[in-house]
Amino acid sequence: NDKDIATPKRTKALLDQYGFKFKKSLGQNFLIDTNIIQNIISASDIDENTGVIEVGPGMGSLTEQLARTAKKVLAFEIDQRLIPVLEDTLSPYDNVTVVNEDILKAHVEKEIKTHLQDCDKIMLVANLPYYITTPILMNLLENHLPIDGYVVMMQKEVGERLNAQVGSKSYGSLSIACQYYTETERVLVVPKTVFMPPPNVDSIVIKLTTRKEPIVEVDDEKLLFTLSKGAFAQRRKTILNNYISTIKEGKLHKDEILEWLSASNIDPKRRGETLTIQEYAHLCNNLKKYPN
Ligand code: SAM
């Protein structure tokens, strides 16, 4: 369909028509390839009963294809200059709501209740602004929003971290946090050439499926993430030394840390990257008092 927004021709025409200049600071790299969009949509398992949340619709390249497939689309766009463009490009669709807000500040749960109440399933599908990929995902996941899954494009390196297995180079606190809430899988690697303007980095589409049951039981999720972050404070250091320096000001003495590690069956000489989520959960549940 040569009327599709995600083509070089139509995108250029819209840029000219609206005198739109990209803002690098907002991570504006628009998709100009409908094949990539089709791949994203088929990975998202969207049907006519699905509600979709989109972060950063831009000029509507992905949004229009979502609107054709889903029951409803709720899109959050921070850049006010894009609102009249979207009103124009999305005018054929009566199932799209665009909210002119920062996704990190918006009341996403309230908006879901207002706009997507009658949908059987809710997916978040987006070509994310790369400068805030991690805060966006962590914010949505930590708040336990009623989102069944995520199909999101991001910087390749970040995607590999989300999806990393224990012991691998990319494994870290982000892998643990995402895999605690979701099952992660790689959908496809995307070259720079499918964007206008092309970003400096390669991209990847990752699918996150929200777990119905937690992968591990912890008494305190925040503590789980504090402990996994602390274990990677310096990658080359042992878990003992990382905890000595991150559990601050000697509030937990070395002896107490050793005792706690031993009670959790963790060799103090191990490095953070060798511990599974289950092992972090043991640590978490065995630490009765985390000094503030
Ligand atoms: N979906 C469009 C596409 O694929 O062509 C645009 C994707 S572009 C990578 C990211 C979009 O997110 C831009 O439209 C940008 O203005 C928007 N954006 C950046 N920061 C945002 C934020 N904090 N909240 C909502 N949208 C944001």
For 8-19, what is the mean pLDDT? Answer: 97
Q: Has residue 289 got a pLDDT over 80?
A: no
Indicate the top mutation candidate among 22, 78, 205 to test ligand 1's pocket, ranked by most ligand atoms within 8 A of CB. 78
Q: Which 3 state secondary structure label does DSSP give 147?
A: coil
16 CA distance to ligand 1 centroid (A)?
A: 19
Ligand 1, atom 20: closest residue by C-alpha: 26
Ligand 1, atom 17: closest residue by C-alpha: 56
Tokens of 158: 């970040």
Ligand 1 atom at minimal distance to the Cα of residue 102: 24
Average pLDDT, the chain: 95
Tell me what percent of the residues of the chain surpass a pLDDT of 70. 97
Query: What is the reported pLDDT for 61?
Result: 98
Residue 203, burial from CB neighbour count under 10 angstroms (0-12, 13-18, 19+): buried
Q: How confident is the model at residue 269 (pLDDT cuts 50, 70, 90)?
A: very high
pLDDT tens by residue, 200-220: 999 999 999 999 998 999 999
Q: How far apart are CA 33 and CA 210, in angstroms?
A: 28
Q: How confident is the model at residue 292 (pLDDT cuts 50, 70, 90)?
A: low
Q: Which residues carry a binding-site annotation?
A: 29, 31, 56, 77, 102, 127
Residues whose CB is less than 8 angstroms from the CB of residue 46 and which lie 6 or more positions away in sequence, other chains included: 52, 66, 69, 70, 123, 125
Q: Has residue 176 got a pLDDT over 80?
A: yes
128 CA distance to ligand 1 centroid (A)?
A: 6
Tokens of 157: 């390196």
pLDDT tens by residue, 51-106: 999 999 999 999 999 999 999 999 999 999 999 999 999 999 999 999 999 999 99
For 135-144, what is the mean pLDDT? Answer: 96
Ligand 1 atom at minimal distance to the Cα of residue 195: 5
119 CA distance to ligand 1 centroid (A)?
A: 24
208 CA distance to ligand 1 centroid (A)?
A: 19
Ligand 1 pocket residues where CB is under 6 Å: 26-31, 55-58, 61-62, 76-79, 82, 102-104, 127, 129, 132
Tokens of 140: 């949505």
Q: Which residues carry a binding-site annotation for S-adenosyl-L-methionine?
A: 29, 31, 56, 77, 102, 127
For 13-39, what is the mean pLDDT? Answer: 98
What is the crossing angle of helices 221-231 and 277-286, to 10°?
110
pTM here?
A: 0.95
Q: How confident is the model at residue 165 (pLDDT cuts 50, 70, 90)?
A: very high
Ligand 1 atom at minimal distance to the Cα of residue 57: 1
> % helix / strand / coil in the chain, to the nearest 5?
45, 20, 40
Q: Has residue 252 got a pLDDT over 90?
A: no
Ligand 1, atom 6: closest residue by C-alpha: 58
Tell me what percent of the residues of the chain surpass a pLDDT of 90. 93
Do 228 and 280 form a contact (C-beta atoms < 8 A)?
A: yes
Residue 118 φ/ψ, nearest 5 degrees: -90, 20
Ligand 1 atom at minimal distance to the Cα of residue 126: 1
